[in-house]
């Protein structure tokens, strides 16, 4: 079956290989269990906000530990590859399941976000947004494979 906008099947495995380790390392960094001090480098920033007075940078160079950024990008790339690589065999049922799972995941994701909007404030909400970067893809992957596994 012809499918548009999907990666070849072999990218699914590559996606898992990228996603799992970077998700684990990302979470460890998030909770401060590990840190990669050597990744403290100077980077260009369009805008860098700070709670300290005078700590703002607009179109300038800042010191930043880029370990979080690296693992966030890897997580997103890995999850995209897992979510949107072709199955070994594609057919109309798989295509329908994929579409339905994407709609379902979007609803669930925003339902949870709306709930969090009224329950989390300040930096707490910042953490919610951080997790929200990945949850749409995660919910999609869980629901899509659950339906395929169940059928």
Q: Does residue 91 touch another protein according to CB under 8 A?
A: yes
Stretch that binds another protein, among 16-24, 78-86, 88-96, 128-136 (CB under 8 A): 88-96
Q: Does residue 92 touch another protein according to CB under 8 A?
A: yes
Stretch that binds another protein, among 53-61, 85-93, 108-116, 127-135 (CB under 8 A): 85-93
- Nearest approach, Cβ of residue 100 and another protein (Å): 11
| Distance, CA of 143 to CA of 123 (rounded, Å) | 30
Q: Does residue 151 touch another protein according to CB under 8 A?
A: yes
Helices then strands (H, E): number in the chain?
4, 2
Stretch that binds another protein, among 39-47, 74-82, 87-95, 138-146 (CB under 8 A): 87-95
Phi first, then psi: give them for residue 76, nearest 5 degrees.
Answer: -65, -45
- DSSP assignment letter at 53: T
- Nearest approach, Cβ of residue 32 and another protein (Å): 43
By rule CB under 8 A, what count of residues binds another protein?
Answer: 10
Q: Does residue 123 touch another protein according to CB under 8 A?
A: no
Burial 40-68 (b: 16+ CB within 10 A, else e): eeeeeeeebeeeeeeeeeeeeeeebbebb
Q: Can you tell me which of 14, 77, 87, 134 binds another protein, judged by CB under 8 A?
A: 87
Residue 78's Cβ-count burial label (10 Å; 0-12, 13-18, 19+) is buried
| Distance, CA of 25 to CA of 33 (rounded, Å) | 9
Q: Does residue 13 touch another protein according to CB under 8 A?
A: no
- Interacting residues with another protein (CB under 8 A): 87, 89, 91-94, 96-97, 148, 151
């Amino acid at each position: 079956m012809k499918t548009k906008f999907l990666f070849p099947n072999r990218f699914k495995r590559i996606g898992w290989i990228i996603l799992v380790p970077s998700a684990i390392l990302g979470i460890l960094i998030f909770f401060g269990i590990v840190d990669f001090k050597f990744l403290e480098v100077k980077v260009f920033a369009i805008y860098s906000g700070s709670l300290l007075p005078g700590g703002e940078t607009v179109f300038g160079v800042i010191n930043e530990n880029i370990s979080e950024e690296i693992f966030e990008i890897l997580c997103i790339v890995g999850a995209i590859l897992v979510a949107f690589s072709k199955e070994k065999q594609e057919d109309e049922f798989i295509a329908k399941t994929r579409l339905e799972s994407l709609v379902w995941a979007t609803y669930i994701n925003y339902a949870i976000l709306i709930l969090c909007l009224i329950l989390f404030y300040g930096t707490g909400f910042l953490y919610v947004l951080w997790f929200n970067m990945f949850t749409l893809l995660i919910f999609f992957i869980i629901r899509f494979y659950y339906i395929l596994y169940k059928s």
